[in-house]
Structure formats: structure tokens, C-alpha cells
Amino acid sequence: MSEYRESYSTKVRADAERCFAVLTDFAAYPRWSSPVRECSVLSTHSDGLPHHVAFVLDTPFKTIRYTLAYTWTRPRGGEWTLVEGDVAGVEGSYAFTPTRSGCTATCTQAIELGFWVPGFLRSVFERKALKDSVEEFRAAAERDA
């Protein structure tokens, strides 16, 4: 997997259940996640939670399509790995840790693009993309909390 593993945490004024609900509502991702153009659940686990999810992302480099497989630990978060797509590898997780005023949301992610991008541009892009993604998630979770 990629040597570019990044983590980002933020305080969310919503409890872990609310954060978990936002994380698993993939149909809503295009409304709050700026790079997500399309997102669809292809299959579910026996408990009804999403298992395989297809994404279409607009990035500064190109449009990227991929499918991820998810496992869940309700309401503490979930993990994902790449099934197939335009990138060489993706793995990551979200973890929700309760606090007095809601929870801390931590996203950890590693992406192996499979196409060349200069290292300094890539690390800056990945760090900014992860931070923006988590902050957009926070705003979505707090909106209806």
C-alpha cells in the first residue's frame, strides 16, 4: 500500500450514532462531499449496512472511478479497502470517539494512485484532500444534529 498514509481528526458537535448515520448514507455524499460526483451502494451486508460502494470522484488530476468494500463497527466507525477501479489501492477507516460535546472523528487513509504525480504535489494534495473531506463530513454531521 501507499507510503502516503495520512490521518486527520476533528471535533464534531454530534454523537457517534449521528456520525455513523452520515458515514453510511452514501446517497447523500454528492450533496456534501465536494469531489464526489456519484456514489452508489452495490451490495449490503446481512444487517443492511453498505458493503460494496461505487464512487466517481473529480480530482485535480482526473476523474477517478472505484469500488470500495466496507466493514462496520456500529457506532464507532468503519473500514474500507479497494475492490476495483482507476487507482492501484485504497484503504482507510473512520473512528468516532465520544467526547462531552459530541465526538472526535478521525479518518486515516492510504491511496496508491497507480499513476505518477510528483511526490511533493501528491503529499500536499493528499493532506489537503483528507482534511477537506473530514471537515465536510463534520459539517454534514453537525447540520442535522
3-state secondary structure 25-92: CHHHHHHHCCCEEEEEEEEECCCCCEEEEEEEEECCCCEEEEEEEEEEECCCEEEEEEEEECCCEEEE
Edge-to-edge, what's the strand order for the sheet holding 102-112?
A: 5-12, 102-112, 89-99, 77-85, 63-73, 50-58, 36-44
Q: pTM for the complete prediction?
A: 0.91
How far, in Å, CA of 5 to CA of 93, rounded?
11
Which pLDDT score, from 0 to 100, does residue 124 have? 61
Do 2 and 110 touch, CB atoms closer than 8 A?
yes
**Residue type, position 91, single letter:** E
**Residue type, position 85, single letter:** G
Which pLDDT score, from 0 to 100, does residue 59 have? 82
Could you list the mean pLDDT of each consecutive 10-residue stretch along the chain, which spans 145 residues? 78 98 98 96 98 93 93 98 93 97 96 65 69 96 86
| Nearest in space to 63 (alpha carbons), one of 92, 89, 87, 41 | 87
Which pLDDT score, from 0 to 100, does residue 117 have? 60
